[in-house]
Chain A
Amino acid sequence: MSEHAERLRVKKTYKLYLGGKFPRSESGRSYPVSSPDGAELANAALASRKDARDAVAAARKAQRPWAGQTAYLRGQILYRAAEMLEGRAGQFAEELADATGADAHDALGTVEAAIDRLVHYAGWTDKYASVLGGANPVAGPYFNHTTPEALGVVAAVAPHDDPLLGLVDAFAPAIAAGNTVVVLASEAKPLPALSLGEVLATSDLPGGVVNLLSGKTAEVAPHLASHADVNGLDLTGVADTALAADLEAAAAQTLKVVRRPGRGADALDLLRQWTEYKTVWHPAGMAAGAGGAY
């Protein structure tokens, strides 16, 4: 036993998850993260404006190919993420307990809920289009069909006090629907999110589909809100109402779809939030015999 006690534990360096890689902030900055009782846990990368820019670029690059995958494949990859998380449930329970001060049992319960949430969205990928879209009976000789399609790149501020399950809600519905995301993790409790990046990286999820940043909401979020190549903005994790209003106003410049704080996490509502309806018309007529509709 004494031999073990003497062994120096290898501590993890918590880095960003960006374009499928784990870089430090380009700014070289980090910030200390502690538990609610004040114990220092680790340093996390302090993302900069340029990290946000790089994350958006990575997300944009990944978006078309990701949306172009079959819904079946997207579902399998989300399910794979659930498998990976299940395998590391203990580690995540521990990190979550450290981050939130929850007891071990509750923390494990939250991890299990996160796993189940991923499984839930894995099952949505090949169904939401049937649920949200459909054929429309227009009054004319046309076939008319509406399908939900990915909005594009979604930037999300994940909830501060729900660092794992809230994070899953911030990316899973969006990517299930073919979007790619840039998520700003809980500012005070970013470590479970950054570890989740490792789960995603080993789930066959293409690089850039989910990008995770840690840092200061007030510093990074405005750059995401105003970025012209972002299509959707999730303000769920912005507790400061004045900041939320400013971010929404900044998003208005390019007419981004905005999810205001406090909207809850209903799955279909989230899927609908990050999709656009596309309606396609085509004439349906062939025979010359009848001589037209007049």
Chain B
Amino acid sequence: MFEYAPAPESVRPQIKEHYGLFIDGEFVDAESDFKSVNPATEEVLFTVAEADEADVAKAVAAARRAYETVWGPMSGTERGKYLFRIARLLQERAREFAVAESLDNGKPIKETRDFDVPTAAQHFFYHAGWADKLAYAGHGPDPRPLGVVGQVIPWNFPLLMLAWKIAPALACGNTVVLKPAETTPLTALMFAELCQEADLPPGVVNILPGAGAAGAAVVDSAVDKVAFTGSTAVGRAIAKAVAGSEKKVTLELGGKAANIVFDDAPIDQAVEGIVNGIFFNQGHVCCAGSRLLVQESVADDVLERLKERVATLRVGDPLDKNTDIGAINSAAQLERITALTEAGRGEGADVWQPACDLPEQGFWFRPTVFTGVQQSMRIAQEEIFGPVLSVLTFRTPDEAIAKANNTPYGLSAGVWTEKGSKILWAAERLRAGVVWANTFNRFDAASPFGGLKESGYGREGGRQGLEAYLDV
């Protein structure tokens, strides 16, 4: 094989040495700061103010004021124009945001450039158009916003999750207080700057970096609604915290998706789908196809092709345009992936990893394929949230469905077969909010996304996603 010389992305965003909290249209300082680290180098990128309870109260008050005086009374047409403007600014500054995201998160530039940032912009563009058409969304002739929305988002798609949260909230007429994840606040803070650039009225969007405590403070504050994407454990705590209150909640939580490959699948495309399903974004994806269920009659063939393909994946510098798998987001996440992988070995599954070099600095994990996995093993049950695939086999379609559904989660699933009737049969039976047939990990602003059972409730995207931000 010929080697690819390093192909580093040349654009560098302006990253400040220090960022404040974004409250009421201004950056303000807080009692304490924390550092954000580049997971690929372990170097500190910048320091950032950490929101406490008082800061949250201030932000919620600003959001309330903006809701009552500006954003609530504003016509849908005008609201929509602000969102269109934000979408356009994001497109204009796309490369800058992409590089910033790769630096702060560790994900490859290929993905931030071709997926995260363009899809985030699409979410603003899509929802902008809803702002003056809510009466046609199927929620009655005059659906009302909820008021102030508290949003807590994860580190795996920092800007995109922000877009998924903020765009529909604003389109429906709410104002927001958003807490980005502790390890990835950068693009949210750049987004705050972009809100200033867009002349968005102060208080409509407030960004409060911080850790779990800040998130809990947002949940407990005087917001009308809480929207959360993250772990099932935290989602459960939020659902308990708001019990008995008037706060509406939507939760987009964990998953352990089955990716089912039948013996009549388009095999080469299925292999691509398996790879994309589990190694996209280092496997830091709630809907990752982390359980490969392959029909026993084609298992050897599929696995051989899969390993050959995985061996071509390039792990390394997130800013190299040829990198397929970047850095693990944090030391803590790396530890969790390592621990679960060890558990897999301990329980007797066979582990396979390609021989690829890993950088010395930073947090890295080789793409990993476990074969001989049984349903009872931890690696088949628990969300690993890393580039680790558990391979199980099945004999009949019924067995595939039974195994696929045998989890408390229900976020996504994949089906691979050239037979249309089998796809419809399987899609109907799979207990998952999203089913990808002959594809995997596709996302779109027009397509509702979300799970069932312990993967949470509520949808994001599409007409159905508006329900989360309207008083219906």
Contacts and interface: CB of A to CB of B under 8 A. Distances in A.
Asked if chains A and B are in direct contact (CB within 8 A), the reply is yes
Contact of A279 (B244, B253, B423, B449): B449
A138 interface: yes
B232 interface: yes
Contacts of A283: 438-439
Interface stretch (B16-24, B170-178, B457-465): B457-465
Interface string B225-264: 0000000100110011001100000010100000000000
A282 B457 CA distance: 23
A231 B448 contact: no
A277 B459 contact: yes
A31 interface: no
A34 interface: no
A218 interface: no
Interface residues of B, number: 42
Interface stretch (B54-62, B335-343, B361-369, B429-437): B429-437
A137 B251 CA distance: 25
Given A255-B454, A281-B439, A146 B448 contact: yes
Interface in B414-461: 423, 427, 432-439, 442, 444-450, 452-457, 459
Contact of B435 (A134, A244, A253, A278): A278
Nearest to A232: B457
A54 to B, nearest CB: 22
Interface extent on A, as a size class?
Answer: 35 or more
Contact of B437 (A138, A241, A280): A280
A139 B435 contact: no
Interface in A226-254: 231, 241-242, 244-246, 248-249, 251-254
Contact of B434 (A252, A255, A272, A281): A281
B122 A282 contact: no
Interface of B (DSSP majority class): mixed
Contacts, number: 110
Contacts of B445: 139
Contact of A136 (B232, B439, B447, B457): B447
Interface string A151-175: 1000000000000000000000000
Contact of A245 (B243, B408, B444, B454): B243
Interface of A: 131-132, 134, 136-140, 142, 144, 146, 151, 231, 241-242, 244-246, 248-249, 251-255, 257, 269, 272, 276-283
Given A242-B244, A253-B240, A280-B434, 20 more contacts: A136-B462, A139-B444, A139-B445, A144-B446, A151-B452, A244-B244, A245-B243, A249-B243, A255-B455, A257-B457, A272-B472, A277-B450, A278-B427, A279-B448, A279-B449, A280-B436, A281-B434, A282-B439, A283-B438, A283-B439
Interface of B: 122, 138, 232, 235-236, 239-240, 243-244, 251, 253, 408, 423, 427, 432-439, 442, 444-450, 452-457, 459, 462-464, 467, 472
10 contacts: A136-B462, A138-B444, A248-B239, A255-B239, A255-B253, A255-B456, A276-B452, A278-B434, A278-B435, A280-B427
